[in-house]
Amino acid sequence: MLTIVGLSGSLRRDSFNTALLYAAVECMPSDATLDVATLEGIPLYHGDEEAAHGIPDAVAALKDRIAAADALLLATPEYNSGMPGVFKNAIDWLSRPPEDQPRVLHGRPVALMGATPGGGGTGLAQAAWLPVFRGLKMRPWFGGRLQVGGAGNLFDDGALTDDATAKRLAEFMAGFVDFVRG
């Protein structure tokens, strides 16, 4: 069974991106699973704290989940035309210490999707992630794009209610699974 860790880049309890990941769980191909993770418990990166106390437990647990999976899916919000600072902070923690990057990130298949209340989707945030993937030697999937704009009209109490978006999501997940299988 192929396993993908889906990481939501939002801290909000009613996050559209977390809801999008849970909707993706429901439309995964039958031979693949999506393990949804959040940024809960990940502190701000601080090199002095890392030197004094090591990797925080929440970061170590997330690193282990990703290392055990076949791929990583980032559900990114878009804040001020870019990636959220808290999300980039989590990836910065995941890259520490540098000698652990091959286990967690190097060569890791990764895909991006995102939902936002605005009409533009999350295209600018998704583009901002590409240099990060390159720097971490990840293997991004460019075969599909999922940018969900107007998310406030597509979800009801955390459930995706728009059939067209659900269809796009299912196609996106099937394409990413195919890419991971290579």
Residue 176: band (very low, low, confident or very high) from pLDDT cuts 50, 70, 90: very high
Q: Are 35 and 65 in contact (CB under 8 A)?
A: yes
Per-residue pLDDT of 68-121, as tens digits, reads: 999 999 999 999 999 999 999 999 999 999 999 999 999 999 999 999 999 889
Q: Are 78 and 122 in contact (CB under 8 A)?
A: yes
Per-residue pLDDT of 38-65, as tens digits, reads: 999 999 999 999 999 999 999 999 999 9
pLDDT at 144: 87
- What the block records as the tokens of 37 is 């993770």
H or E stretch including 100?
A: none
Q: Are 16 and 125 in contact (CB under 8 A)?
A: no
Three-state DSSP class for 3? strand
Mean pLDDT of the chain: 97
* Domain boundaries along the sequence of the chain: 2-181
Backbone angles phi, psi at 139, to 5 degrees: -120, 85
Per-residue pLDDT of 21-44, as tens digits, reads: 999 999 999 999 999 999 999 999
Per-residue pLDDT of 147-160, as tens digits, reads: 999 999 999 999 99
Q: Which residues pair with 8 in a beta bridge?
A: 75
CATH class of 2-181: alpha beta
Alpha carbon distances (Å) from 82 to 39, 64, 77, 88:
18, 27, 8, 10
Q: For 99, which DSSP code?
A: G
* d(C-alpha 179, C-alpha 175), whole Å: 6
Share of the chain above pLDDT 90, in %: 98
Per-residue pLDDT of 121-175, as tens digits, reads: 999 999 999 999 999 999 999 998 999 999 999 999 999 999 999 999 999 999 9
